[in-house]
């Protein structure tokens, strides 16, 4: 089968596959099976055809090859609300909004996420590549539960209370965001042991929200807050990278990705700040790799993701909800802070055919205690990742790689900002198994 046909099939499968809360916020913890087995470290290494997603310069150091893989991602997420809802109004404009009390786990716990990469030779000094991969996204699906809110009827205060089924009182509740990246790469060597690379990024997003209808009263566009079906968003950006081998032992790498500007989700113009805008934030990574004579390689990376630069993600709920409507430029968002992730990976080449990997990463999760109400939809609170993997050459030009990931349970607990009598706790743990098959210059 020709690579272009393979690309088309895998692009299609990515588009129709489900999404889930990824691991560092809504960014994957790594790209490519070998890097994932090292907790996502490897910006200074050239590991496989997906290495361009971490550092485009890596393509210049690879032989022509193909990589085809599939991850089975299992996020377990949910929330618990405690305390009796107040169900009252201080004024006609200030009414409480309580959740439960209840404890509900999200459905949809298994997500297949495929990827594809290839590298080809341009000249003795340059290569080109193509990567197709997903970023995970956001996904929750809550069934059952109830919400109680104050209604400014009768004497105000206290008004009257009303209870309705669903997490936010509007039935089955959740969001589904999928992100697909199609990224060609050009990389060129310079000097004896250095390379640079550039990767234009074509991004496609798909989003749906349900069960958020009771937030329409807070919106600039009440008809486009919830339950309007799936919508696609398209955009582009660029990723740049450099690598250099300082000496036979030490290699350094750096990569920067611009903000990926996306078309607006018009069907959700009353939900996301800036009339449905949901760009993908910029990020950069610095790293080093030390290769010892005993066949051991140690990789250390630091990655920084600027979630706060996208208003739909970074704007806090309060005071924004009191000062602007949902959908406005200053409308309330998820209140995520920027994330800095520290990654350490180890690879041990046991022999010419077999290499073992392991890794650990830590990044303080981006959700503040004051932002738990909206983040029931997106409880991306995991902080640690433990990984392990194996790459086994089957012939001189074919190999199989396996990566395992475990992210232990994390919780964030805070007061309900719309009913301080309540406390909400969100939590998540994650598992992942990824397998990839490589052929060519492996």
| Nearest of 139, 140, 69, 63 to residue 104 by alpha carbon | 140
pLDDT reported for residue 440: 94
- Mean pLDDT of all residues in 4-16: 46
Distance (Å, whole) CA 7 – CA 12: 8
Mean pLDDT in the chain? 93
pLDDT reported for residue 108: 86
Q: Which residue has the tokens 């979630």?
A: 307
- Please spell the DSSP secondary structure of 208-274, one letter per residue: EEES-GGGGGGBSSGGGSS----EEEEEEEEEEEEEEE-SSSEEEEEEEE--BEE---GGGTTTSHH
Decide which of 15 and 157 is more confident.
157
What is the tens place of the pLDDT at every residue in 249-265? 999 999 999 999 999 99
Torsion of CA 49, 51, 56, 58, to 10 degrees: -90
The answer, yes or no, to whether residue 12 has pLDDT greater than 50, is: no
Structure tokens at 173: 């509740």
- Mean pLDDT of all residues in 65-87: 96
Q: Return the CATH number of 3-77+106-135+175-203+238-440, one of 1.10.10.10, 2.40.30.10, 2.40.160.20, 2.40.160.60.
A: 2.40.160.60
- The answer to whether 85 and 96 are in contact (CB under 8 A) is yes
pLDDT reported for residue 17: 45
| Nearest of 408, 273, 412, 388 to residue 330 by alpha carbon | 273
- Mean pLDDT of all residues in 411-425: 96
- The answer to whether 31 and 133 are in contact (CB under 8 A) is yes
Q: Which residues of 263-289 are buried (b: 16+ CB within 10 A; e: fewer)?
A: ebbebbbbbbbbbbbbbbbbbbbbbbb
What is the tens place of the pLDDT at every residue in 334-385? 999 999 999 999 999 999 999 999 999 999 999 999 999 999 999 999 999 9
pLDDT reported for residue 137: 67
Of 29-43, 127-141, 179-193, the range with the lowest mean pLDDT is 127-141
The answer, yes or no, to whether residue 11 has pLDDT greater than 80, is: no
The answer, yes or no, to whether residue 28 has pLDDT greater than 90, is: yes
The full set of domain ranges for the chain reads: 3-77+106-135+175-203+238-440
């Amino acid at each position: 089968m020709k690579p272009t046909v393979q690309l088309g099939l895998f692009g299609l499968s990515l588009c129709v596959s489900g999404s889930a809360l990824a691991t560092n916020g809504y960014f994957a913890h790594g790209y490519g099976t070998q890097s994932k087995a090292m907790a996502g470290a490897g910006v200074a290494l050239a590991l496989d055809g997906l290495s361009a997603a971490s550092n485009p310069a890596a393509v210049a150091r690879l032989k022509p090859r193909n990589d085809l893989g599939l991850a089975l991602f299992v996020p377990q997420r949910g929330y618990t609300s405690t305390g009796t809802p107040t169900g009252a109004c201080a004024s006609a404009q200030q009414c409480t909004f309580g959740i439960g009390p209840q404890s509900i786990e999200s459905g949809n716990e298994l997500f297949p996420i495929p990827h594809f990469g290839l590298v080809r030779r341009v000249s003795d000094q340059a290569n080109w590549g193509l990567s197709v991969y997903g970023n995970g996204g956001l996904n929750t699906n809550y069934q059952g539960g109830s919400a109680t809110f104050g209604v400014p009827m009768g004497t105000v205060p206290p008004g009257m209370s009303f209870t309705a089924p669903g997490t936010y009182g509007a039935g089955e509740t959740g969001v589904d965001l999928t992100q697909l990246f199609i990224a060609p790469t050009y990389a060129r060597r310079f000097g004896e042991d250095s390379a640079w690379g550039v990767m234009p990024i074509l991004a496609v997003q798909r989003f749906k929200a349900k069960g958020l209808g009771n937030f329409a009263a807070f919106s600039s566009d009440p008809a486009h807050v919830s339950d309007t079906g799936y919508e696609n968003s398209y955009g582009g950006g660029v990723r740049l990278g450099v690598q250099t081998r300082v000496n036979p032992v030490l290699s350094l790498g750096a990569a920067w990705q611009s903000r990926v500007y996306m078309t607006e989700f018009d069907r959700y113009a009353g939900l996301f700040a800036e009339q449905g805008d949901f760009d993908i934030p910029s990020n950069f990574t610095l790293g080093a790799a030390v290769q010892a004579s005993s066949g051991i390689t140690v990789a250390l990376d630091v990655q920084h993701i600027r979630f706060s630069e996208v208003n739909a993600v970074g704007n806090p709920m309060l005071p924004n909800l009191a000062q602007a409507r949902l959908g406005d430029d200053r409308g309330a968002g998820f209140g995520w802070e920027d994330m800095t992730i520290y990654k350490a990976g180890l690879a041990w080449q046991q022999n010419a055919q077999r290499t073992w990997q392991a890794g650990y990463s830590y990044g303080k999760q981006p959700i503040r205690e004051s932002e738990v109400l909206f983040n029931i939809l997106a409880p991306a609170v995991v902080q640690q990742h433990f990984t392990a993997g194996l790459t086994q050459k089957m012939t001189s030009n074919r190999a199989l790689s396996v990566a395992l990931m475990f992210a232990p349970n994390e919780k964030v607990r805070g007061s309900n900002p719309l009913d301080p009598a309540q406390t909400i706790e969100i939590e998540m743990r994650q598992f992942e198994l990824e397998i990839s098959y490589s052929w060519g210059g492996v």
